Amino acid sequence: MSVEREKRIAAEAAAELVGSGMTVGLGTGSTVAYLLPALARRELSIRCVATSPRTEQAARELGIQVEPFGGFDRLDIAIDGADQIAPDGWLVKGGGAAHTREKIVAAAADRFVVIADSSKPVDALRPPVPLELLEYGLATTLRRLADVRRRDVPRSPDGGVIADYHGDIGDPVRLAADLAGAPGLVEHGLFPPDLVATILVGRGDSVERRDLA
């Protein structure tokens, strides 16, 4: 079964969770690319924020109302993909270099829904873990952080330098705390289970749903 089909059916299932009048956070990535037309087809009255300029442009081209995030103090729902999904609900995100905005939007939502194809659930998280770093003092930040390499990609939507942690993940709670405490690190791509409400995974012709909250 096509991975692209699995992405599409997971995204379409997530679109059905959105109702008129909701405020919606739109993630970034190849699975969200299927979410946007699914939402547009429903012709709902919704107000959205986007986690990247790419998502914002694509949504507006489909007639979806996208507004600056500064106009919201909370969101009803946020929907986004994931690079890896562990059995306990930990995620690795940030392959598209928008994980800082994605985490802010996920945390602002009453319900964060993760959409993915069947290749994304894993037995245990593995490197790399995406990072966003400040340009200021970058050389010292890279020297301080072990097993981190700068990624040869454009900056984040907010101008941050994108890098990846390539060391052992082990306990994601410990690693998340260690990374978060490093001066010069804006955000890491480890998302804890307490951010996640629902995981929708396309598998073959059906969607597996797992509710964490």
pLDDT, one tens digit per residue, over 116-132 is: 999 999 999 999 999 99
Residue listed under structure tokens 């009048």? 21
Domain residues for the domain of 147 are 129-188
**Co-location of 109 and 171 in the same domain:** no
State the amino acid at position 178 in one-letter form: D
List of the chain residues with pLDDT < 50: none
pLDDT digits (tens, 9 = 90+) for 38-62: 999 999 999 999 999 999 999 999 9
Q: Say whether both 81 and 22 belong to one domain.
A: yes
Q: What is the pLDDT of residue 213?
A: 79
- Whole-number Å distance between alpha carbons of 170 and 136: 29
Cα torsion 22, 51, 58, 84: sign: negative
The pLDDT score that the predictor gives to residue 1 is 57
Q: Which of 6, 12, 56, 102 is catalytic?
A: 102
Instruction: Check residue 194 and report its DSSP letter.
Output: G
Alpha carbon distance 4, 202 (integer Å): 9
- Same domain for 111 and 39, yes or no, is yes
Report yes or no on 208 lying in a domain: no
Query: What is the rounded CA–CA span in Å between residue 121 and residue 124?
Result: 9
The pLDDT value recorded for residue 71 is 87
Any catalytic annotation for residue 208?
no
